[in-house]
A and B are shown apart, each in its own frame.
Chain A
Amino acid sequence: MAEVKLQKLVKKYGNVGVVHGIDLTIAHNEFVVLVGPSGCGKSTTLRMIAGLEDISGGTISIGDRVVNDLPPRSRNISMVFQNYALYPHMTVKENLGFSLKIAKQDEATIEKRVAEAAEILGLTPLLARTPGELSGGQRQRVAMGRAIVRHPDVFLFDEPLSNLDAKLRGQMRVEIKKLHQKVKTTIVYVTHDQVEAMTLADRIVIMKDGHIEQVGTPAEVFEQPKNTFVATFIGSPPMNLLDATTATEGGRKVAKLADGVTLALPAAAADKVSDGQAITVGFRAEAFSPVGYGLTGDSEVAAIERTVTLPEPLGTETLLYTELGGKEVQGKMLNPRPVQPGEQLTFNLDLSRLHVFDKASGKSVLV
């Protein structure tokens, strides 16, 4: 059992705090992705789990051991680095077997485990080559192979795909997912790419400025963001956010936007706000579609006529830029027909999918 537990974890460089007392429990065999913009402390957190950075405060435990003061070699973890960090003077085979050799395993075991890992990752034909003779994707696979031969308690991935081109990144993402299904080990994975986070994770941890903003399954953080940061960070395109004030009209709570449009708030939010409160309403592009090109179902919609400033065709859908509440917003047109800039369209806004945030704190009133 390898549960990873972070308690009040703090990292400071001199007087500058980088990680401000985070708490997180990662279950056995769980795939957890730490995601956030650069400088949010995600890599530092990972390196503290690995033992490559000292801890300024709090505790880290792996399994039932507190590992605060253990060197990396005693933590039974393995790590895949952004720059692969292969040993250039060793062949692929030696790279894979290095940790076992250091652990004084006998030749037969090393041979067997290296062959196993090479088989899983399709490296068997490359075993005799040196890293210099491999492509980026192959090097990345060797780095992963080096991690899996050890049968560690925890895998740590530090932005492993950010040096690969877009196509290869997609392929490797799938391979990592498959790898997790095959080897069933706890994985902590750091990335700044929310798509990677969404596709890979059992649970996503969204970090900002050394704090955890939200922890949840991909669906949770996508559908119930706790605050405006998570709302804009997760999902592409980011959630549309508009300033508004609340009022009661005809017995219902509504949000009045800057340009006079009023939107009826979902029932769940209605009793959490008071009249005249400054709020931020948010909705995703999927909830804002031209009539007939998107929204299905019978939830309540607001029909809004708008001029398209810019259509962005993506094949199966077209992103439509227009204006609402004095700000640029994006809508989504599914199974699109060609749209010209300047064209007038009636959009339906799905009111049941409105998110309501307190403007001052940025926190969702719903979660």
Chain B
Amino acid sequence: MRFFRSRLSPPILLLMPAFVIIALVVALPLLFSLYTSFTGYRLVQPASLWQWVGWRNYQRLLTDVDFWWAFGRTLVFLTIALNLELVLGLGIALLIDKLTAGQRIIRTIMMFPMMFSPILVGFQFKYIFNDNVGLVNNAIQSLGWSDVTIPWLVNPVTANLAILMAEVWMSTPIFAILLLAGLMAMPRDPIEAAKVDGCNPWQVFRHITLPYLMPFVYIAMAIRSLDVARAYDMVKIMTNGGPAGRTELLWTLIARTGYQDARMGMANAMSYASILLSVYFTVYFFRKLAAARRTMGGVA
């Protein structure tokens, strides 16, 4: 058993299994993908893995209009979705917090959308917005508002709105539940003090409740920005990036490039560029979170 008598110090020895596993599962694949982003690697031609192209993939990316459209669309999508979910989630949380009876059951019902797979949500909304048999068109026509068949998922603007709607429907509960947790953990005294100090309900919310909730808002934002930035399944199901690439988000584009076009080297280069987006949002929200924690902390 020479291994156990090795000269390595016990801490290193004991941490070795963890290091080995992390290296195999995380570090090596990461390095490998980084390497491939500098090659002309095509999935169908394994030999191309050794075809070193230097910065060519990245140079092409810079001038790739489709990529930058997807990048920008993801950014806009992220911004609108997060803000909409925040506002709606906050509203729902405030309403549920006011409930005196049946709060548990409402809380559970509220979380139903989170329990569905995004793929199923995608299918559901695809059906809802279907131009022939969809619920929306059916409703519009039955109610006699219009007898035009609106091609929701074919028109670029409405298709994006439909995806946004599905996303908001599915994920608003995450904001609601996190903010509700914040509301429920909130001490009552400062609110009462503010009421006595002359605040009307809006001022209480603006000056007391909201500052208390900000750490929770930032946590929710950080988690959700990562989630939304990697949105794939719903778009894939509802529009598959169409019509004509008008609903293409980063990850649908990357998946298409990597697997359909088999240009894995290029796809990896895109991934690394888009990761910057996620890193930026994460760092931004965590900074905000740390600052909010500092100001809210300290008083029991």
Contacts and interface: CB of A to CB of B under 8 A. Distances in A.
A78 B297 contact: no
Interface in B202-217: 203, 207-208, 211-212
Interface stretch (B9-17, B130-138, B184-192): B184-192
B295 A73 contact: no
B290 to A, nearest CB: 14
Given A71-B200, A85-B187, A99-B198, 16 more contacts: A50-B196, A51-B195, A72-B195, A73-B198, A78-B197, A83-B300, A87-B194, A88-B295, A88-B296, A88-B297, A102-B198, A102-B199, A102-B203, A132-B297, A146-B193, A146-B197
A132 B299 contact: yes
A138 B274 CA distance: 51
A81 interface: yes
Q: Which 8 A-B pairs have the closest CB atoms?
A: A132-B298, A85-B189, A99-B197, A85-B193, A88-B299, A73-B198, A72-B195, A89-B211
A88 B199 CA distance: 17
**Secondary structure type dominating chain B contacts:** helix
18 contacts: A50-B196, A51-B195, A72-B196, A73-B195, A77-B196, A81-B193, A83-B300, A85-B190, A86-B299, A87-B207, A88-B297, A88-B298, A89-B212, A98-B207, A103-B198, A130-B298, A133-B298, A146-B193
Nearest to A86: B299
A52 B296 contact: no
A77 B192 CA distance: 12
Interface of A: 50-52, 71-73, 77-79, 81, 83-89, 98-99, 102-103, 130-133, 139, 146, 150, 156
Nearest to B300: A83
Nearest to A91: B295
A52 B195 contact: yes
Interface residues of B, number: 23
A131 B196 contact: no
Contacts of A84: 189, 299
Nearest to B197: A99
Contacts of B200: 71, 73
Contacts of A52: 192, 195-196
A99 B189 CA distance: 15
A139 B190 CA distance: 13
Contact of B189 (A50, A73, A83): A83
A71 B296 CA distance: 27
Contacts of B197: 73, 78, 98-99, 102, 146, 150
Interface string B199-237: 110010001100110000000000000000000000000
B295 A130 contact: yes
Interface string B286-300: 000000000111111
A73 B299 contact: no
B289 to A, nearest CB: 14
Contacts of A83: 187, 189, 300
A78 to B, nearest CB: 6
Contacts of A156: 196
Contacts of B187: 83, 85
Contact of A81 (B189, B198, B208, B295): B189
B192 A81 contact: yes
A273 B203 CA distance: 62
A52 B195 CA distance: 8
A131 B295 CA distance: 10
Contacts of A50: 192, 196
A98 B194 CA distance: 9
